Amino acid sequence: MSKLTIPEGYKPLIDPLDTEQGIKQIKDFFQSNLSTALRLRRVTAPLFVLRGLGLNDDLNGVERPVSFPIKDMNEQVAEVVHSLAKWKRVMLAEYNIQPGYGLYTDMNAVRGDEELDNLHSLYVDQWDWERTINPEDRNLGFLKEIVCSIYSAIRRTEYLVCEHFRQLKPFLPEKIHFIHSEELLQLYPDLSPKEREDAICRTYGAVFIMGIGGRLSNGEPHDLRAPDYDDWTTVNADGYKGLNGDIMIWYPVLGRAVELSSMGIRVDIEALNRQLELTGKQERRQLYFHKKLLGGELPLSIGGGIGQSRLCMVLLQKAHIGEIQASIWPDSMRRECKEAGMPLI
């Protein structure tokens, strides 16, 4: 069932036409800043990949990809991508991109099993990026450096938008706070993971929660992660497991934490084998992507995704992602949103 939050007294600060102008301004400016900060070059990405290659992102392992048979290829089945987490790493090898440089692309996806609400749509658009690294870069300090670069690009974009639309006031803090998901659990042992995210983001404004995917001391992961892209089992410099995480901010319009990016240092051969064993997915070793990785044909990398519509929603201070992008919504949600002054595109 879909869920909807209607902020009390909500009124859009920008009309629909100016909103469209703001969306273009944000997308143009942010991707240019991201490219410069991380030394990324733009590449073209697929909307779908062939089933059975191990290239599609499995997300939490339960979401069904949109798929269709290809008449001119003996009915082979193609799947609309969930994300490009693994495809990008293959392209780093294909383009022979050296350490310190990387690529980014516009990822468009359809997630039919998404639970629709203010932040989640059937249509997903994000900047997917990946950068080649050296073995010595697989550490917590390097991860934090990249996170700070991305967060700085977000804040520069916020400044630009607020200068252009003076009715918008900046709200992001100057610095982003780092915390491991186990530390977060110890701080708020009686709260659920989402409640813990709200609590820490309300306190600091912007937080990078690390170590997502591995089991914590309560026997549960903070959130689920596929076993074959982010490294969530390697012990980091603080003695906790995980070289990945989520960039989250406190969003005053909705009064809750909002994830803007999921990212991390990617698995090496050792971490991939370990995480496949932990999740009982050893059979994936026979897939195209996994064979290339285990055969040493793919570079070490760091990468992630940054939601385009979600970033625009936050920086333009909208209450629903449907005010930013055109998608399909339940009639009841459209009606409620219209009555609440937030008509969906």
Neighbours of 111 (CB within 10 A): 20
95 Cβ contact partners less than 8 Å away, ≥ 6 residues apart:
43, 103
Pull the structure tokens for residue 187. 């701080």
User: Helix, strand, or coil here: 191?
Assistant: coil
Tell me the CA end-to-end span of the chain in Å, nearest whole number: 21
* Cα Rg, the chain, nearest whole Å: 20
Q: How would you classify the pairing of strands 67-70 and 206-210?
A: unpaired
Residue 270, Cα to own-chain centre: how many angstroms?
24
Residues known to be catalytic = 57, 111, 126, 246, 259, 262
Closest CA to 320 of 4, 1, 9: 4
Pull the structure tokens for residue 131. 């950068």
Return d(Cα 90, Cα 93) in angstroms, integer. 5
Instruction: Give one DSSP letter per residue of 102-122, joined into a string.
Output: EEEEEEEEE-TT---SSS--S
Return d(Cα 105, Cα 43) in angstroms, integer. 5
What are the strands, taking DSSP E only, across the chain?
A: 40-42, 48-50, 67-70, 76-80, 102-110, 123-132, 177-180, 206-210, 244-251, 256-265, 301-307
Neighbours of 291 (CB within 10 A): 14
Closest CA to 131 of 38, 201, 209: 38
Total H helices, total E strands in the chain: 9, 11
User: Hey, CA dihedral for 283, 285, 286, 290, is it positive or negative?
Assistant: positive
